[in-house]
């Protein structure tokens, strides 16, 4: 059955064409079966094809990149009419607990976060923004304290964790190699924790891979985060 161009009415020819652009905050750069107009040259794709590419694209991002949770709670509270004390009383927690959540010392349970979003009259997703960054950028960020000075003792440990991450993404690993890399990652993570506990610093990457929004913005300004993460 012949298909015709929605723009000019010309006849469409099926083929494998490049599909590039942005849809629903996801960048598409792939090839897919589509239809090219013989008259105006425009290429059109069926919605089902675009949906499959988006799923493939998101799957690649989740498996190859590392999620960082940007904490927007402090800024939202500052812009609200509620004090930390009022929020704490409404939630039945201490004011210190609210301060810990704001400063990324504590990640709230889902129910607490939902209640907090309700109190602040925002969507749950507005409390935290998820960003995916490359392993190289992530492990580099892990070596910086909140004064944005790199802690030299941590650099070799996170360099090894980065190498471990890259090797672990290979599809050609034996079960023995996978087990070896997993054990190495655990040992390196414990070593990083040991070093951090021995030093009197706060770090820009906190519990649950979270960062304060102000630290995220400064990391961008300093060039520690590049690409489409702004």
Domain identity same for 92 and 44: no
- Per-residue pLDDT at 169 exceeds 70: yes
Any domain includes 7: no
Residues above pLDDT 70, as percent of the chain = 88
Residue 47 is predicted with a pLDDT of 75
The average confidence (pLDDT) of the chain is 87
In this prediction, residue 6 has a pLDDT band, given cuts at 50, 70 and 90, of: confident
CA distance 164 to 39: 52
Domain span at residue 58 reads 12-62
Alpha helices, H only, 65-130: 73-79, 84-91, 95-102, 110-120, 124-127
Question: Taking residues 50-71, what's their average pLDDT?
Answer: 76
- Encode pLDDT of 72-87 as tens digits: 999 999 999 899 999 9
The pTM score is 0.70
Tokens representing 214 are 């102000």
Any domain includes 2: no
Domain identity same for 43 and 76: no
In this prediction, residue 70 has a pLDDT band, given cuts at 50, 70 and 90, of: very high
Indicate the residue among 105, 127, 149 that finishes a domain. 127
**Total domains in the fold of the chain:** 3
Q: What are phi and psi of 134, to 5 degrees?
A: -65, 155
Indicate the residue among 62, 79, 99 that finishes a domain. 62
Residue 3 is predicted with a pLDDT of 82
Identify how many contiguous H helices and E strands the chain contains and give both numbers: 10, 6
Indicate the residue among 127, 154, 172 that finishes a domain. 127
Any domain includes 186: yes
- Per-residue pLDDT at 24 exceeds 60: no
In this prediction, residue 60 has a pLDDT band, given cuts at 50, 70 and 90, of: low
Residue 147 is predicted with a pLDDT of 94
- CATH number for the domain spanning 85: value is 1.10.260.40
Domain identity same for 155 and 191: yes
Residue 58 is predicted with a pLDDT of 67
Count CA atoms closer than 13 A to 80's CA, side-chain side. Answer: 20
Domain identity same for 139 and 192: yes
Domain identity same for 142 and 171: yes
Domain identity same for 36 and 16: yes
Residue 29 is predicted with a pLDDT of 63
15 membership: H or E segment, kind and range: strand 12-23
Residue 194 is predicted with a pLDDT of 95
- Per-residue pLDDT at 64 exceeds 90: no
Domain identity same for 43 and 119: no
Which comes out higher in pLDDT, residue 48 or 161?
161
Domain identity same for 208 and 180: yes
- Can you tell me whether residue 116 is helix, strand or coil? helix
Domain identity same for 78 and 147: no
Any domain includes 89: yes
Which comes out higher in pLDDT, residue 62 or 129?
129
Domain identity same for 84 and 116: yes
Residue 2 is predicted with a pLDDT of 77
Any domain includes 229: no
Domain identity same for 113 and 44: no
């Amino acid at each position: 059955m012949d298909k015709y161009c929605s723009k000019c009415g010309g006849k469409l020819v099926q083929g494998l064409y490049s599909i590039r652009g942005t849809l629903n905050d996801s960048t598409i750069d792939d090839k897919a079966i589509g239809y090219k107009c013989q008259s105006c040259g425009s290429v059109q794709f069926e919605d089902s094809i675009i949906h499959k590419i988006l799923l493939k694209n998101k799957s690649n991002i989740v498996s190859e990149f590392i999620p960082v949770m940007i904490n927007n709670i402090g800024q939202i509270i500052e812009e609200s009419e509620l004090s930390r004390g009022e929020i704490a009383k409404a939630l039945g927690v201490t004011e210190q607990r609210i301060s810990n959540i704001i400063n990324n010392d504590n990640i709230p349970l889902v129910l607490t976060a939902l209640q907090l979003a309700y109190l602040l009259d925002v969507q749950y997703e507005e409390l935290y923004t998820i960003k995916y960054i490359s392993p190289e950028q992530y492990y580099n960020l892990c070596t910086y304290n909140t004064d944005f000075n790199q802690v030299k003792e941590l650099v070799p440990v996170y360099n090894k964790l980065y190498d471990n991450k890259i090797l672990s993404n290979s599809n050609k690993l034996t079960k023995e190699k996978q087990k070896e890399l997993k054990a190495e990652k655990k040992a390196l993570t414990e070593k990083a924790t040991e070093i951090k506990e021995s030093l009197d610093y706060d770090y820009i990457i906190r519990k649950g891979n979270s960062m304060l929004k102000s630290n995220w913005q400064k990391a961008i300004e300093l060039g520690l985060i590049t690409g489409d993460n702004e």
